[in-house]
Amino acid sequence: MSTVEWGYRSAGQRLADDVREMLREQRDYRELLYQMTRRDLMLRYKQTVMGFGWAIFMPLVNTVVFSIIFTRVAPLDVGMPYPLFAFCGLLTWNFSASAFRFAMISLTTNTSLVTKVYFPREIFPLSAVLVALVDFAVGSVGVIALMAYYRVTPTWTLLALPVIVLVHVMFTASLCLLLAMANLFYRDVKYIFEVVVTVWMFATAVLYPVASLSNRFGLLLQLNPMTPIIEGYRSVLMRGSLPDPVSFGVAATMSAVLLVTCWVAFHRAEFQFAENV
């Protein structure tokens, strides 16, 4: 409803109203979220020969390259077969990175929809997250295959996997909302992001444990929620242990706060999109 309610509302009440409205919109438009995700998936693989195979192939190529480097050139002990370590890291990292990339341009590439039709704009970045999530699910077949090959059997800790996926998705979605909005107002964001994401990846435990870096960049590395998330996957799948409660707990709390903050900010800026795109 576009009725503007005049009169005073406290900040807390306003927040509660906004959250209620956001959730109601997502419920009303869940069909559209599904259709948009389907659309993007179809478009992505419509004229490709390998189709969803790309979702496994891309991290696999990188895994092979880094496996050669870190087993032959500069051997590295990661406590498990290195290809498994790297593939798991790359796949989970790629989920976030590709969601960021798609979400960031989702509003600016759909200008005609943004300026000509109304529906909750969150649909764009959120469907980017879902598309990346589908790729992630397909790619995880590769993890299963590698685990079978190296005879790594998961234990009961596998039950904690949904929690880790949830935190991962929440964190990814919140940055997606933020990036989509930022790039709509300032197109520089796209270029800055490319630099940031490269540096960020090497500051995260994607290809090697980051413990060795922590002396110099300690605090910064600890605040990076991607490392506990990726390590969390490795713990519950391959090490048979639960993720570190402190660092993962911080990451989970941060993700939840970030999601609410970014979503509310997005929602409140939404009505300016059509004029600024």
Chain residues that interact with other proteins, rule: CB under 8 A: 1-4, 28-29, 31-32, 34-36, 39, 42-43, 46, 112-113, 115-119, 185-189, 271-272, 274-276
Whichever of 113 and 250 has its CB closer to other proteins, that residue is: 113
CB of 263 to other proteins, least distance (A): 18
Whichever of 241 and 272 has its CB closer to other proteins, that residue is: 272
Q: How far apart are CA 167 and CA 253, in angstroms?
A: 9
What count of Cα atoms within 13 Å lies in the side-chain half-sphere of residue 153?
Answer: 2
CB of 180 to other proteins, least distance (A): 15
CB of 114 to other proteins, least distance (A): 8
Residue 53: alpha-carbon gap to chain centroid: 20
Whichever of 115 and 241 has its CB closer to other proteins, that residue is: 115
CB of 273 to other proteins, least distance (A): 9
Q: How far apart are CA 245 and CA 63, in angstroms?
A: 29
CB of 46 to other proteins, least distance (A): 7
Q: Quickly count: other Cβ atoms within 10 Å of residue 9's Cβ.
A: 12
- Name residue, tokens 């576009």: 2
What count of Cα atoms within 13 Å lies in the side-chain half-sphere of residue 168?
Answer: 28
Whichever of 33 and 237 has its CB closer to other proteins, that residue is: 33
Whichever of 43 and 137 has its CB closer to other proteins, that residue is: 43
Q: Which residues contact 165 (CB under 8 A, 6 or more apart)?
A: none
Which conformational region is residue 7 in: left (phi greater than 0), alpha (psi within -120 to 50 degrees), or beta?
A: left
Whichever of 6 and 156 has its CB closer to other proteins, that residue is: 6
CB of 13 to other proteins, least distance (A): 20
Q: Which residues contact 104 (CB under 8 A, 6 or more apart)?
A: 176, 179, 180, 182, 183, 189, 190, 193
